[in-house]
Structure 1
Amino acid sequence: MIRTARLLCLLTLTSAAPPLFGQAAAPAIVVLTFENGGSYGLDSMDFLGLGRGIPSALTADLALNPGLRTIDRRQAQQVLERDGPSHNGRVDAATAARVGKQVGAGYVVTGTFVDYYGRVRIDARLIDTGTGSILEVVSSGQRSRAELPQMLADIASQLMSGKRLPAMPAGSLPPAKVSSDALVLFGRAVLAQDQGDKAAAVGYYQEALKLAPDFTAAKDGLRSAQGS
């Protein structure tokens, strides 16, 4: 009788325990500031802004995937500015992995962009923060600046192909449609916010939202700037 009672108790506990499969925490990812690979045709402040606006917008696209947990780029930027980049002044894979690990990310994305008088190319690298190895390199190819928002959506889609990062579930909402002009203004807003210029950041976010009212990353940025 005692043995039977113990068996029943064990079965009850086992059936009540939640299944382990599929309950692992979603992998965390952070996108670092993108480097300007040599761009011409816009104001230098626009290119500085795009270096921060591109990863912020890309983060918003990645955040649409419920299988991922995104980390605010600004956390990583603060670590990078505190500790400095690698010896040659660039953010190499080892530096990116170190920064990503410090903010709790399992993966980090670094990248470069080149805008040559309206012809734009974006390249991104997915890095494992545990090993420092580059897992995947994806590219938008060279396209018109007018296609910049779609280029970012394509980069996000390539990263979430299921090879390394979880694939986007079927039926997920697509990123909001924005214009390249709105994205440039958004970049200026992010740059101003990083530099502590709250008033300028709010103004640029508002201008971006006039052009693209559904620009989620700009809405989030505006709330953050107004609340800081």
Structure 2
Amino acid sequence: MSAAILVSLGAAGSATAQEGTARFVIVAFENTGSYGQGTEVFQALGLGVAAMLARAIDRHPGADVIERHQRGAAGGDPGPGAPKRVDAAGAAQIGRAAGAHYTVTGSFADFYGKFRIIARLVDAKKGAIVKVISNDDPKLQDRAQLASIIQAVGERITSAAGLSPYPDGSAPPPIPTDAITAYSRGLLHDSRGESARASEFYQSALSAFPPFDEARAALGQLRGR
């Protein structure tokens, strides 16, 4: 992508931030080759990484993440049970259908504990990639740092969208990787309609990290059906 296009898209993002809330849609992430854990764990993390990234972005006072129940499966969204690669055109279609300014899609790879995330911020109106963002710092690639990795990627996404830095002291306490993994597996079983298994994993996530609001909310929604 040329520098001119990057400058143009960056300016558009800044205007969005100044005029009001920047709206984001987060699409399930693709596993591009992971080793060292079971297949189900990696299937689940495609959902969990996206969900935790949505959490990180939504904490920004100038950002609003459109929840899945608000947008349905509009615009070709591959859905929570099928985290496949989504190109820029498909991502833009999802964003436009949901009324979002940006779609975030991407992939992850876990090579025996070395964890990399590659996120693509797509301008929903122009159908172009604004920026590709990754945890390229070797000091932030340990699976045990998953919450911090996701937070760092989220902060870089909001910056690329033209939003101001997060307020000082706004970072939440890091969620243990075991809790994120259990929550992710809950999402996977939930997406398959396997309520009992989903409930078990949501409860495991809460046992590992009691203040895990997303796991608590997911468990409450599951029990309310």
Does residue 127 of structure 1 match 2:125?
A: no
Task: Return the letter of the residue paired with 2:187.
Answer: V
- Aligned-pair Cα RMSD in Å: 2.2
Aligned residues: 201
Q: 1:100-179, aligned counterparts within 5 Å?
A: 100-141=95-136, 143-161=141-159, 163-171=160-168, 173-179=170-176
Match of 2:39 in 1: 44
Which one has the largest radius of gyration? 1
The change in CA–CA distance for 1:168 and 1:216 in structure 2 (over 3 A counts) is: farther
Task: Return the letter of the residue paired with 1:116.
Answer: F
Task: Return the letter of the residue paired with 2:39.
Answer: S
Deviations 1:19-50 (A, max 9, x none): xxx98441210110000010111111100000
Distance 2:117 2:166 in 1: 25
The change in CA–CA distance for 1:168 and 1:199 in structure 2 (over 3 A counts) is: farther
Q: CA deviation at 1:54?
A: 0.4
Q: CA deviation at 1:224?
A: 2.3
The change in CA–CA distance for 1:57 and 1:110 in structure 2 (over 3 A counts) is: same
The change in CA–CA distance for 1:189 and 1:107 in structure 2 (over 3 A counts) is: same
Q: Secondary structure at the match of 1:196?
A: coil
Distance 1:165 1:183 in 2: 28
Task: Return the letter of the residue paired with 1:146.
Answer: A
Q: CA deviation at 1:169?
A: 4.1
Can you give the 5+ residue segments of structure 1 that lack an aligned partner in the other structure?
1-21
Task: Give the 4+ runs in structure 1 shifted more than 6 A.
Answer: none
Q: Secondary structure at the match of 1:206?
A: helix
Does residue 219 of structure 1 match 2:212?
A: no
Distance 1:60 1:39 in 2: 23
Q: Secondary structure at the match of 1:160?
A: helix
Distance 1:65 1:131 in 2: 24
Percent identity (aligned): 34
